[in-house]
Amino acid sequence: MAEIVQQRIENRIPELEQLERVGLFSKKEVKSLLKRATALEYKLHRLIITKVDFIAYIQYEINVLELIKKRRSRIGYQFKREEIEFSIISRINNIFRRATTKWKDDVQLWLSHIAFCKKWVSLSYLGKVFSSMLAIHPEKPALWIMAAKSELEDRNSSESARHLFLRALLFHPESKKVYQECFRMELLHAEKLRKQQKELEQAEIDVGGYEFSPEIVSGKLAEVVYRDATGKIQGADFILSLLTIAAIFDFTKDLQDTIIQDLQSKYTYDSLTWDFMARRELEATVGEELQTAMGRASDIARREERCCQVYEQGLNSLNTEAMWACYVSFCLERFKRKTDVRELKETVNISNHDNHCLLSVVPAVSMEIKEKYLDWSYRAGGYKKARKTFKVLKINSNIILLISHQFCIVKETPKMSNLRDFYERALREFGSTDDDLWLEYIREELGPRGQPESCGMIHWRAMKMLEGESTGHI
């Protein structure tokens, strides 16, 4: 062991002498470096070695590199790089190899080596590290994607990136993420070539001598990836994810049209398809730009109406909770944009659907929409329908929807016990802040169907629960 350590320390002496000779380190600093390196090297040759020992050695060497770089910049000395930095870099790579050989399963160790290579080592060597890592961890799609992106972005090699994606798909033939990134890569490469082609044409340079494959420039290879992907992976969510990627690029109109056609023809049973098609109406262009605020507001209203019509079509053929959830979520978003909230019946044409899952499937449905819905239920179907709606709201909501102007809904019932139960539930929710609610309760008990003797107790409870100035109104 001692012989191996001694040999490695002796191999460092030329670089250390150079550091002192060119003035990057003093004699005292060189001596300190040698002492520290010897101690770290011995730790890697003990009977029991740890990952921490390797990491400490690597970090020490990187710190030396950083210091050399900083001092070079300060004194302007850029010579003897091969005799100094390159030997340190080579040594760090060797330590990384020894560590990843011993701890093959430690992905973070591999990624640390890759990060070091990207900063200090040649890009060709980076490819070798990726290859070694993938040979051990082929089961991790994210690593294949990382390697392919590196080939495209760091080495500008679309062929190598494409080859890596194809190999990744051999191991992961149904990986959505691999297909998505492969699809994106082909479009990025096509965009880059189109830009280069345009620059050459503007400079009036003959592009005949350059490799601008029509299949690549037009995005045809991306379409090939799309066909292969959607042939193996089903689902509107996946096809929409590819559409989202394609929409980033301004030359993919035909490809986007193809994807949308597939979406409409293959996934009409999926609420995501209807949701996408409905929201797409908001983005529809008009013939000319509208100049006035009134004109723009009117146009938005028309677009929203078209959105609702598409949602209604979806509900006619796909009356599911997921479909309702998409519709209600859209309505909530549009409500938040308005200062004058319209009747729910007008915005959500619920009169065509006697279906309470509208309120049960979306926990975020606002108080305002529930209020509108309950009010519409009463006007459309009378007390019985309103009572049924109220029960649904009570069961499926954390807030009991009781607003004073809707009290008429329960007042139609001849049973005072039902009305009393109604007020008690309301008071449990709003009794600490709503003095009008207490007054309404007292008035009902003072009426012909009530129990006037209980008003004193109701008043006493109100005074205990109400806060601030509200107590003065009772």
Residue 340: pLDDT band by 50, 70, 90 thresholds? Answer: very low
pLDDT (0 to 100) of residue 362? 47
In a domain, 289, yes or no: yes
pLDDT (0 to 100) of residue 403? 43
Tens-place pLDDT, residues 116-125: 999 998 788 8
Do residues 418 and 383 both lie within one domain?
no
In a domain, 150, yes or no: no
pLDDT (0 to 100) of residue 355? 45
In a domain, 64, yes or no: yes
Do residues 384 and 443 both lie within one domain?
no
**Domain extent for 18:** 1-103
In a domain, 121, yes or no: no
More confident position, 79 or 171: 171
Query: How far is 193 from 211, CA to CA, in rounded Å?
Result: 9
Residue 87 tokens read as 């030997």
Do residues 432 and 460 both lie within one domain?
yes
Residue 361: pLDDT band by 50, 70, 90 thresholds? Answer: very low
pLDDT (0 to 100) of residue 382? 64
* Total domains in the fold of the chain: 3
Answer yes or no: is pLDDT of 286 > 80.
no
Mean pLDDT of 335-363: 49
Write down which residue in 103, 133, 153 finishes a domain: 103
Residue 397: pLDDT band by 50, 70, 90 thresholds? Answer: very low
Mean pLDDT of 396-412: 46
pLDDT (0 to 100) of residue 333? 80
In a domain, 445, yes or no: yes
In a domain, 118, yes or no: no
Do residues 27 and 67 both lie within one domain?
yes
In a domain, 208, yes or no: no
Residue 97: pLDDT band by 50, 70, 90 thresholds? Answer: very high
Write down which residue in 371, 391, 411 finishes a domain: 391
In a domain, 185, yes or no: no
Do residues 352 and 414 both lie within one domain?
no
Answer yes or no: is pLDDT of 365 > 60.
no
Answer yes or no: is pLDDT of 399 > 70.
no
Tens-place pLDDT, residues 211-246: 566 666 667 899 999 999 999 999 999 999 999 999
pLDDT (0 to 100) of residue 266? 95
Do residues 14 and 97 both lie within one domain?
yes
Do residues 346 and 437 both lie within one domain?
no
Provide the 10 A C-beta neighbour count for residue 305: 13
Residue 137: pLDDT band by 50, 70, 90 thresholds? Answer: very high
Q: Which among 148, 190, 188 has a CA at the least distance from the CA of 167?
A: 148
Answer yes or no: is pLDDT of 401 > 50.
no
Of 24-28, 93-97, 336-340, the one with minimum mean pLDDT is 336-340
In this prediction the pTM is 0.71
Do residues 303 and 367 both lie within one domain?
yes
Write down which residue in 363, 391, 419 finishes a domain: 391
Instruction: Please say whether the beta carbons of 18 and 12 come within 8 A.
Output: no
Residue 304: pLDDT band by 50, 70, 90 thresholds? Answer: confident
More confident position, 268 or 284: 268
128 contact partners, CB below 8 Å, separation of at least 6? none
Mean pLDDT of 80-84: 75
Do residues 341 and 363 both lie within one domain?
yes
Do residues 416 and 333 both lie within one domain?
no
Alpha helices by DSSP H, 285-407: 293-317, 321-336, 344-347, 357-360, 367-396
Do residues 344 and 385 both lie within one domain?
yes
More confident position, 148 or 319: 148
For the residues of 37-96, what is the DSSP string, one character each? Answer: HHHHHHHTTSSS--HHHHHHHHHHHHHHHHHHHHHHHHHT----TTTTHHHHHHHHHHHH
Tens-place pLDDT, residues 161-213: 999 999 999 999 999 999 999 999 999 999 988 888 888 777 766 555 555 66
Average pLDDT of the chain to the nearest whole number: 81
Query: How far is 413 from 426, CA to CA, in rounded Å?
Result: 17
Mean pLDDT of 94-103: 95
Do residues 385 and 407 both lie within one domain?
no
Answer yes or no: is pLDDT of 341 > 60.
no
Of 58-72, 284-298, 428-442, the one with minimum mean pLDDT is 284-298
